[in-house]
């Protein structure tokens, strides 16, 4: 199989998967029906669960015994949380925390 054929098959597969996940809820639930309570509940709790998982994933490599590992990570998390509490802007919070962490890792530690 050529690279071009492989790329086309890959793109078509991704397109079909994306379309299925976008259209399937409307096909199953319809426009007129009430959203089931379980789906509404998931819509409320999943964003917080995903953010918690991302924090754990980002901090999994941090060694608590190594100060040069803990300090930049802790300051990055603090800057992210502080910016989010101050401005309530997710993009600004993530960008500010990332820039703070990268500057600390590259220039200080």
Asked whether residue 89 carries a pLDDT value surpassing 80, the answer given is yes
Check residue 77 and give its pLDDT. 94
Q: How far apart are CA 46 and CA 54, in angstroms?
A: 12
Distances (CA, A) of 64 to 5, 70, 90, 106: 49, 6, 27, 19
Chain segment 60-85, per-residue pLDDT in tens: 999 888 888 899 999 999 999 999 99
pTM exceeding 0.75: no
pLDDT of residue 31: 72
Domain ranges of the chain: 1-33, 44-108
Q: What is the DSSP string of the chain?
A: --HHHHHHHHHHHHHHHHHHHHHHHHHHHTTTSPPPHHHHHHHHHHHHHHHHHHHHHHHTT--TT-HHHHHHHHHHHHHHHHHHHHH--HHHHHHHHHHHHHHIIIII-
pLDDT tens-digit series, residues 3-41: 999 999 999 999 999 999 999 888 877 777 788 899 889
């Amino acid at each position: 199989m050529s690279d071009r054929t492989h790329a086309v098959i890959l793109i078509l597969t991704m397109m079909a998967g994306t379309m299925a996940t976008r259209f399937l809820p409307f096909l199953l639930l319809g426009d007129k029906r009430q959203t089931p309570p379980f789906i509404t509940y998931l819509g409320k709790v999943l964003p917080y669960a995903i953010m918690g998982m991302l924090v754990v994933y980002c901090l999994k490599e941090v060694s608590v015994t190594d100060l040069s590992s803990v300090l930049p990570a802790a300051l990055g998390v603090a800057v992210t949380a502080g910016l989010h509490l101050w401005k309530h802007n997710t993009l600004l919070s993530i960008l500010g925390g990332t820039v703070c962490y990268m500057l600390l890792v590259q220039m200080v530690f």
